[in-house]
Chains A and B, each alone.
Chain A
Amino acid sequence: MNPATKTDPLVEYVQRSLELDDPDEVDRRAGELSVMGYERTATHLRGHAVSLRAGRVKRPRMVFRSPIPEASDEQWARFVRLMQTGDV
């Protein structure tokens, strides 16, 4: 393993950027890299942003809107999960 690669902040920054699921943020980071002269890396990140957007169109996330005034959407989603067979 190359120690320089392991600790290279740019490599780490790109890796973390590829783990994001917010395409706008990925695009913003791609712009930063482009300004810094890393055009090929920026293009790679932009491609990731495009993939994220395409994925969102094809697979919209299930949103559990709470029908209970006392529960937030997050609380309701947790309750629903706990009420499914296997969890309770």
Chain B
Amino acid sequence: MTPTGQVGVFQTRLKRLEDLGLVREVRRVQRDGTANWTATFRAPLTLARLLSDPLLQYRIFVVSMKRYRDEVLGRHRDSIGKEIEGKPATLSGLMAVSQHAGPALTSWLASEADRQRFKQTTAAYGRTTGVF
């Protein structure tokens, strides 16, 4: 788990795992003088089990992406086809932003400053937009 609270091969955010009902009490804790994100996993899931099971991580990713797909098409359909960061926005690119930013997709779309600030998110968009 990263200090920013991202887990596994798809770097799924703890907040997203909470949305999906897999963890609770997502919170920041002080550890060795730095703030780190943590959460309580809902049994029978544990952090160790999740990290040791790539197929489980993939299944969670699929559930998450299906929901993000519905949200993107429901709330941001008008952004599809617009040129963002020099590339036409497609469903895949906006789903990738959702994976990184969650509900902050809205501000990422609206704010060039946000797109500059959150470089990993913007890089994910750049790699994935146009796939579908």
Which residues does A use to contact B, with CB under 8 Å? 67-68, 70-72, 75-76, 78-80, 82-85, 87-88
Q: Are B96 and A88 touching (Cβ within 8 A)?
A: yes
Q: Are B10 and A78 touching (Cβ within 8 A)?
A: no
Report the separation of the CA atoms of residues A30 and B129 in the bound assembly, to the nearest whole angstrom. Answer: 45
Contacts of B124 in A (CB 8 A): 82-83, 88
A-B contact pairs, 15 of them (CB 8 A): A67-B62, A68-B65, A68-B69, A71-B92, A78-B131, A80-B58, A80-B61, A82-B124, A82-B131, A83-B96, A84-B10, A85-B10, A88-B96, A88-B127, A88-B128
Report the separation of the CA atoms of residues A76 and B58 in the bound assembly, to the nearest whole angstrom. Answer: 12
Q: Closest chain B residue to A86 by CB distance?
A: B9
Contacts of B120 in A (CB 8 A): 88
Contacts of A72 in B (CB 8 A): 132
Chain B, residues 47-69, CB within 8 Å of chain A (1/0): the string is 00000000000100110011001
Report the separation of the CA atoms of residues A78 and B127 in the bound assembly, to the nearest whole angstrom. Answer: 10
B40 proximal to A (CB < 8 A) = no
- Contacts known (A67-B62, A71-B92); A82 close to B127, Cβ less than 8 A: yes
Q: Are B131 and A85 touching (Cβ within 8 A)?
A: no
B55 CB → nearest A CB, Å: 9
A76 CB → nearest B CB, Å: 8
